[in-house]
Homo-oligomer: A and B are copies of this chain.
Amino acid sequence: MSKCEQCIVREFSSLKALNKDELLKIADCKTSYTIKKGETIFVEGENVNGIFCIKDGVCKMSKLSQNGKDQIIKLVSKGELLGQRSMISDEPTNLSAIALEDMEVCFIPKAEIMGFFDNNNQFSMNVMKSICGDLKDADTHTVSMAQKTVKERLAETLIYLETSFGKNEDGSLHIQLSREELAGMIGTATESCIRLLSDFKKLGLIDLSGKKITILNLSKLKKLAE
């Protein structure tokens, strides 16, 4: 069993407020998992009873709409925690979490975490701040969805993917989403997404080769996103 004390990603999450004793406690009760690309961490409606700490990799958080399409609400990566909202509300999860790359995650049972809320105010505060950040993002996202065109949202999303998750040596976006997933992020039909990508390519804004997307003209793309 690896020690949480020595885990670097801890520093990037609310868990950074935990002291030595507390870290030893969770090291004792946590479970580590390896999750392959495409595998599910949990599904919308499931009872999770704890939180997942992402040691490595990226996953998508999505929600099934009534018409059967998967709407991606956000992407979550190394250092972040999954399942906080559901744990605090004491409800089943609202979103599904599916790995976009191979992942390393640790599961910490609810009972352990809930104890920290009572005894470690800095930890509580960190969790609150993190959820508040999510809420702010969600509200901003709602406005985009409501007021921007699909083209603007696609541009915005491509920029977000590059700035938040970086690019490979060849300059292509590190996160590789299928066209369907990308459509699910911007909230449009897969064909519309493909069509607009082609348009962007014709305009010299991006390059496409297979699944790889490379941003060629970031500033123009930013203008397009307004």
Contact = CB atoms under 8 A, between A and B. Distances in A.
B136 A66 contact: no
A187 B145 contact: yes
Interface in A133-156: 133-136, 138-143, 145-148
Interface string A93-137: 011000000000000000000000110010011011101111110
Contact of A142 (B124, B128, B131, B141): B141
Interface of A: 63, 65-67, 69, 71, 73, 84-85, 88-89, 91, 94-95, 117-118, 121, 124-125, 127-129, 131-136, 138-143, 145-148, 186-188, 226
A75 to B, nearest CB: 14
A167 to B, nearest CB: 26
Contact of A133 (B89, B140, B145): B89
A80 to B, nearest CB: 14
A17 to B, nearest CB: 13
B71 A146 contact: yes
B94 A146 contact: no
How many copies of the shown chain assemble into the complex? 2
A132 B85 contact: yes
Contacts of A135: 85, 131, 134-135, 138
Nearest to A149: B67
13 contacts: A66-B147, A67-B147, A67-B226, A71-B142, A73-B139, A85-B136, A89-B136, A117-B121, A121-B124, A127-B128, A138-B141, A142-B142, A142-B145
A136 B65 contact: no
A70 to B, nearest CB: 10
Contacts of A186: 146
Contacts of A132: 84-85, 88-89, 131
Contact of A124 (B91, B95, B117): B117
Contacts of A133: 89
Contact of A147 (B89, B124, B187): B187
A117 B126 CA distance: 12
